């Protein structure tokens, strides 16, 4: 592929499913874009306020006009147009009673005029951070598949997504919030619709980038925009929608994957082979466990499935196992690839997965998680004496518990 980014941007955004741009090696332009979008996601972490004594606790430390400058990205080429908040009832245990339960999860931005000239189009950007508490991850990964039903005119019950992620995307804030929150979904669809109207006379793209849990929200938003047809301009004109996923989990079933492909949603997944988050949910029931020979297994419709094209990385530092899921580590290795991504240390022994998970789940006591997951698995085994459990919607939730128990 020859030419400047402004000339070939559609291919870099996934037109042609990145054929010839990922394998046998990353094309330089695509590499630069993966790094650039990753850094735009990292701004979410740098700007997120975790000091409980701050008046901006669980929000962004800075105003929209100064956020990029404050995090050292004044030359990003984007202007923030809206901050995005998400709620997760029943799992926000670290928030004092009576206070706002909305958490800042990312932002919507639009390319400046100068950046538009460089990119070859007006880029509407949405970024999402990942989880910052273990409660969020445990609640999400101990859930099950549920129909997305984001288009009321065509609910498509066969399109199923992980219910924890869907809840984060669609749940409304309780009354009394200082932010006056709508659901994450409502905030995003409203702002994206406004920007599409504003730039209706220009060449436009929608780029959605997320890390970890933020990747799941990116998937859901991309699907939602496309299913509702918000990116349709004329009978033969469609605004491309592209997801850049970093260390993201599976989001839905095969029906979700197939529908995303039908709608033209493009997903580029940057994955570290040692990152346990990318194996969940669906450690057991996933796209690799749908058929046996030529026989399609009865639970195939309930198997989780990754969406899109994979960019595979290989890095592990046994001295700091949590780096396997670290966004900065992802970005660094894409920017400066090395022949061997696994860093070993002589004399270090032990369960790497346990050390990784102990970092992923933060301050949770592993023994408490083991007991909780074990109890749920025991309950599952009691309830599953008949073969009909294989078709139950709760089956995937129990399998997630079992997977979490085994990883720990």
Q: Provide the annotated active-site residues.
A: 212, 275, 325
Asked if 331 and 270 touch (Cβ cutoff 8 Å), the reply is no
- Which segments of 65-147 does DSSP mark as H helices, in order? 67-70, 113-119, 134-141
Question: Which residues, 6+ apart, have CB-to-CB distance to 225 below 8 Å?
Answer: 189, 192, 206, 231, 241
Q: Is the dihedral of CA 325, 330, 331, 336 positive or negative?
A: positive
Q: Is the dihedral of CA 32, 313, 308, 146 positive or negative?
A: negative
- CA distances to 6, 74, 123, 222, 225 from 203, rounded to whole Å, are 11, 24, 9, 18, 17
User: What is the 8-class DSSP label of residue 324?
Assistant: G
Closest CA to 407 of 216, 132, 131, 137: 137
Cβ neighbours of 139 (radius 10 Å): 20
Asked if 221 and 269 touch (Cβ cutoff 8 Å), the reply is no
Closest CA to 274 of 341, 346, 366: 341
Asked if 110 and 123 touch (Cβ cutoff 8 Å), the reply is yes
The torsion angles phi and psi of 268, rounded to 5 degrees, stand at -110, 115
Q: Is 87 exposed, middle or buried (0-12, 13-18, 19+ CB in 10 A)?
A: buried
Give the pair of three-digit tokens for residue 237.
């004109």
Distance CA 148, CA 158 (A): 9
The torsion angles phi and psi of 85, rounded to 5 degrees, stand at -120, 150
Give the pair of three-digit tokens for residue 368.
């408490």
Q: Is 107 exposed, middle or buried (0-12, 13-18, 19+ CB in 10 A)?
A: buried
SS3 23: coil
């Amino acid at each position: 592929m020859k030419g400047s980014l402004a000339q070939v941007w559609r291919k870099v955004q996934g037109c042609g499913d990145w054929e010839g741009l990922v394998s046998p090696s990353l094309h330089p332009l695509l590499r630069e874009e993966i790094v650039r979008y990753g850094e735009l996601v990292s701004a979410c972490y740098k700007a997120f306020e975790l000091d409980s004594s701050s008046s901006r606790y669980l929000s962004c430390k800075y105003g929209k006009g100064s956020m990029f400058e404050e995090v050292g990205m004044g030359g990003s080429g984007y202007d923030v147009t809206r901050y995005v908040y998400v709620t997760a009832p029943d799992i926000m245990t670290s928030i004092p009673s009576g206070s706002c339960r909305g958490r800042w999860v990312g932002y919507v931005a639009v390319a400046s005029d100068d950046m538009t000239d460089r990119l070859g189009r007006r880029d509407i950007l949405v970024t999402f951070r990942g989880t910052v508490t273990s409660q969020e991850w445990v609640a999400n990964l101990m859930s099950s598949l549920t129909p997305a039903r984001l288009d009321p005119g065509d609910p498509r019950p066969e399109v199923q997504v992980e219910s924890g992620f869907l809840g984060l995307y669609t749940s409304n804030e309780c009354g009394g919030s200082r932010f006056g929150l709508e659901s994450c979904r409502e905030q995003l669809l409203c702002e994206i619709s406004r920007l599409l109207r504003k730039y209706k006379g220009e060449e436009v793209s929608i780029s959605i980038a997320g890390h970890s849990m933020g990747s799941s929200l990116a998937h859901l938003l991309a699907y939602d925009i496309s299913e509702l047809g918000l990116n349709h301009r004329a009978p033969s004109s469609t605004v491309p929608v592209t997801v850049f996923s970093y260390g993201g989990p599976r989001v839905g079933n095969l029906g979700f994957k197939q529908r995303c492909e039908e709608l033209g949603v493009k997903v580029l997944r940057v994955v570290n082979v040692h990152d346990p988050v990318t194996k969940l949910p669906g450690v057991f029931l996933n796209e690799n466990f749908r058929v046996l020979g030529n026989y399609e297994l009865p639970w195939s419709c309930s198997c989780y499935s990754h969406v899109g094209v994979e960019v595979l990385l290989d890095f592990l530092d046994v001295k700091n196992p949590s780096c396997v899921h670290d966004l900065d580590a992802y970005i660094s290795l894409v920017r400066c690839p090395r022949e061997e991504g696994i860093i070993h240390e002589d004399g270090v022994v032990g369960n790497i997965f346990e050390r990784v998970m102990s970092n992923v789940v933060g301050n949770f006591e592993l023994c408490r998680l083991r007991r909780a997951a074990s109890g749920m698995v025991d309950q599952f085994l009691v309830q599953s004496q008949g073969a009909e459990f294989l078709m139950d919607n709760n089956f995937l939730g129990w399998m997630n518990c079992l997977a979490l128990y085994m990883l720990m």
